[in-house]
Amino acid sequence: MEDLKALSARILEKTKEEGQNKLDEYEKVANDRMEETRQKLVESKKNRKAAIAAKIENDYEREVQTLANKQRNAILSEKQALLHSVFDDAAKKMEEWDADQFAVFLQGVLSQLDANDLWQVVPGGKSVHLFDADPVANVLDNYSFVTLSKEVVNNKSGFVVEQGGIDYNFCFDELVAELKKEFSPQLATLAFKK
């Protein structure tokens, strides 16, 4: 009987040992799974924080770039307006020339004409009164091959020189427009440099 008790005790001991081993193994697996899950949660939290930080950084950079673009565009608009006003002011100042200034301009134009041809000066409607002034009349008197037309170019300052059916436009707004076309790219390059 003792053998039976001893055998029962050994079987019981072995069963307990196997049960404990299985329990230890299950506990280890459960702990490993919990640790793995915890690591995944930590990694997920870290990734979420990194994604949020990256989004905030991207949003910030985009906002900075947007503000820089708006500022640059505002400056460009101001510079463009300034360029336009320079040309507009030039035409207005030319319209305000007195007889002496107008005579100097007329002299510069007439001095370049071929004296072997006949030329006619057609005054602009806004400048016609200047042709009655002594300085301008004296300039015209120096060029016998140039006559003053009775006609006028309406709503213009300056004059047109005609020869053989060809008009050479010296109306101030047209001259400034030509200069604007010619020099705007160069002036824009200078004005828009940082």
At 164-180, the pLDDT tens digits run 899 999 999 999 988 88
**What stretch of H or E contains 121?**
strand 119-123
Q: If pLDDT is split at 50, 70 and 90, which confidence band does 191 have?
A: low
> How sure is the predictor about 192, in pLDDT bands with cuts at 50, 70 and 90?
low
The residue ranges of every structural domain in the chain are 1-96, 97-191
Show the CA angle centred on residue 74, arms to residues 69 and 75, nearest 5°.
Answer: 100
d(CA 139, CA 8): 143
Q: Specify the pLDDT at position 194.
A: 56
Q: What percent of the chain has pLDDT over 70?
A: 96
Q: How many Å apart are CA 113 and CA 144, to the nearest integer?
A: 12
Q: Which residues contact 77 (CB under 8 A, 6 or more apart)?
A: none
In order, the DSSP letters of 139-182 are HHHT-TTEEE-S--BTT-SEEEEEETTEEEEEEHHHHHHHHHHH
**Main-chain dihedrals φ then ψ at residue 42, nearest 5 degrees:** -60, -45
For 121-155, write each residue's pLDDT tens digit. Answer: 999 999 999 999 999 999 999 999 999 999 999 99
Q: Which CATH class is domain 97-191?
A: alpha beta
Q: Which amino acid is at 38?
A: R
CB–CB of 146/121 below 8 Å?
Answer: yes
- In the predicted model, what is the mean pLDDT of the chain? 87
Dihedral sign (CA 36, 37, 38, 41): positive
- Among the ranges 3-12, 85-94, 99-108, 169-178, which has the highest mean pLDDT value? 99-108
